[in-house]
Chains A and B, each alone.
Chain A
Amino acid sequence: MNKLIELKNLTKNFDDQQVLRGINLDIYENEFLTLLGPSGCGKTTTLRIIAGFEEPSGGEVLFNGIEISKLPPYKREVNTVFQKYALFPHLNVAENIGFGLNLKKMDKDVIAQKVRKMLKMVGLEGFEKRDVTLLSGGQQQRVAIARALVNEPKILLLDEPLGALDAKIRKQMQIELKKIQQEVGITFIYVTHDQEEALSMSDTVVVMNNGEIQQIGSPTDIYNEPENRFVAGFIGESNIIEGIMIRDYLVQFDGFEFECVDKGFEDNEEIEVVLRPEDLDIVEPSQAKINGVVRNVTFKGVHYEILVETELRTYKVQTTDYAEVGRQVGLKFGPEDIHVMYRMGAY
């Protein structure tokens, strides 16, 4: 696959506040890449720099190897789907979608044809003459996607496009967006703070915090092999425990030594361990090293969420087995359930 966009040591300051602190990122053709992070992490700023709405304070933006950071948005082969759709309220659906083609002075019939094709793709056939302000949120979103894609960009940028939709339509649109991306075969750069959305749609997830990239990887990697405490905490729920890597395949925490599958750390390096709640099992105290008392049980539908208080901390466990409050239990997990991370500064 070819590199389409290269961000090299990108920085951005607003007044005296640094919002991007050296972003290095390669984005490939036909990739569904998600920038994921809490609000204020710099993900939207990164997107706006690629779109051309902001100029970076430092660093380079390469598009097919050519520096474009000074290029105005209308000269870029990039289109954006905005958070609040940004449909033009004084134009109807067809006029909105045809806006870009009209600027290119295309033939009216060609425009009408392309608009129809796009409407079909997003499932809004026959909506040409509708008033955009009277469409539902989901429909407006589809028009916004069609309006961007009709220009046949190399990259589609999506800035939290599903944020304003309710949960059910959001799920449906996630599936549809992924389908559209595969159909048109272009790169999607997607910005969201919703980790579930990021994991279910992306080829690559870029986790950001404080204007820095924390981890780049496939959704499975990001979930199963978080590189640090921030990633582990932001994606899914987790128990994070400080420990020591005694040597390869042997880790110590909570006063016990455990076999694990991680290696490559220095002997006796201070590390942090992630135990996902769904990887923990509740057993009889005699069957496990770590013991504790059940403090709270919450029924979550598919599973119970059980808080087990041990001497040193409280573990969160997700299991289908019920354990009553006050019971003495053991926490069991296998070597492959332990994930060791580098220890990082305070969060």
Chain B
Amino acid sequence: MMNTRNNEGKNSALARKAGKKRKASYGMKRSTRFEKIYLGIIFFLMYLPVAVVIIFSFNESKLPVRLTGFSLQWYEKLFADSAMMEALVNSLILGVASCAVSAVIGTLGAVGLSRIHWKTKGALEYISILPLMIPEIILGMVLMAFFYMLNLPFGMLTLLIGHTVFCIPYILMEVKARLVGMDPSLEEAARDLGATSMRAFFDITLPLIMPAVASGSLLAFAMSMDDVVISIFINGPRLSTLPIKVYTQIKTGVTPEINALCTIMLAFTVVILLVYSLIKKLKRKYK
């Protein structure tokens, strides 16, 4: 993952260089302006709906057609809505729990994969990230059928298992990429200096892959927080997560309350993304 990022960086640097060269030879001014306009349109179209939601979440009127004035009433209403708050708590618990479980499993899996040299290693790697490729609706259905067969009561436990299934690959991929770039003699050096394999792992390998575990976990958490499709199959009759709640509310029409909720979630996502990129930056320091 890191490598592709670096390559992208290199490519864009090359492209910039090439662009400069051409500019120097036969004025690219018009073309540059066109590029900027094009980029502006794309971003405008992409983020217009988001902006509308944010703006209307602060709107006084209940109807999403006219701006009548600034108000925080929808946020107040949202926080007063106990069902909504319960869903939020459920989502947070689920996100943190599935994230923690899959961090352990994913990290162990990646470390294990990095140590074997079987002929089936490639296939094993594909299988372990397959949940990302399987369409969510199928994964959700399959999980539901499976839990039904096992006679598991639908609720937090089934949600936790389901979310862990699709969270593991994110952590596994991040940690695996980190391990590929790590000098295998680091762990050997630790063993050479008197550490058992266990100590070598906890003293050397784990601290070094921790940034990858953290960034993978953040991604996984974000994925768990906004999952509707899989959750809806396995959530059980009474338990509701935040995305499910939003989904069911929208069926009865968009209320400004939902706008407010979306705005909060958006802000939350932005914060996660910022932390994620910060971790990435720190990770590069150790390269």
Interface size class of B (residues with CB under 8 A): 20 to 34
Say whether B195 faces chain A, with CB atoms less than 8 Å apart.
yes
Contact of A86 among B189, B199, B285 (CB under 8 A): B189
Known: A74-B196, A84-B183, A133-B286. A99 touches B190 (CB 8 A): yes
Is B192 a contact of A80 with CB atoms below 8 Å? yes
Is B195 a contact of A74 with CB atoms below 8 Å? yes
B-side contacts of A51, CB under 8 Å: 192
> In the complex, A151→B190 CA distance in Å?
12
Say whether A59 faces chain B, with CB atoms less than 8 Å apart.
no
Is B183 a contact of A88 with CB atoms below 8 Å? no
Is A103 a contact of B185 with CB atoms below 8 Å? no
> In the complex, A99→B186 CA distance in Å?
12
> In the complex, A83→B189 CA distance in Å?
11
> In the complex, A74→B203 CA distance in Å?
14
For chain A, the count of residues having a C-beta within 8 Å of the partner chain is 25
Chain A 54-86 against B: per-residue CB contact (8 Å), 1 yes, 0 no? 000000000000000000111000111011101
Is B207 a contact of A90 with CB atoms below 8 Å? yes
Say whether A300 faces chain B, with CB atoms less than 8 Å apart.
no
- Minimum C-beta distance from B203 to chain A (A): 8
Say whether A339 faces chain B, with CB atoms less than 8 Å apart.
no
Contact of B191 among A74, A84, A90 (CB under 8 A): A74
Say whether A104 faces chain B, with CB atoms less than 8 Å apart.
yes
Is B188 a contact of A53 with CB atoms below 8 Å? yes
Known: A82-B185, A83-B185, A103-B199. A88 touches B204 (CB 8 A): yes
Chain B 194-205 against A: per-residue CB contact (8 Å), 1 yes, 0 no? 111101000110
Taking CB as reference atom, which chain A residue is nearest B117?
A15
Say whether B105 faces chain A, with CB atoms less than 8 Å apart.
no
Chain B 157-199 against A: per-residue CB contact (8 Å), 1 yes, 0 no? 0000000000000000000000000010110111111111101
Q: Which residues of B does A touch, CB under 8 Å? A: 183, 185-186, 188-197, 199, 203-204, 207-208, 285-286
Q: Which residues of A does B touch, CB under 8 Å? A: 51-53, 72-74, 78-80, 82-84, 86-90, 99-100, 103-104, 133, 147-148, 151
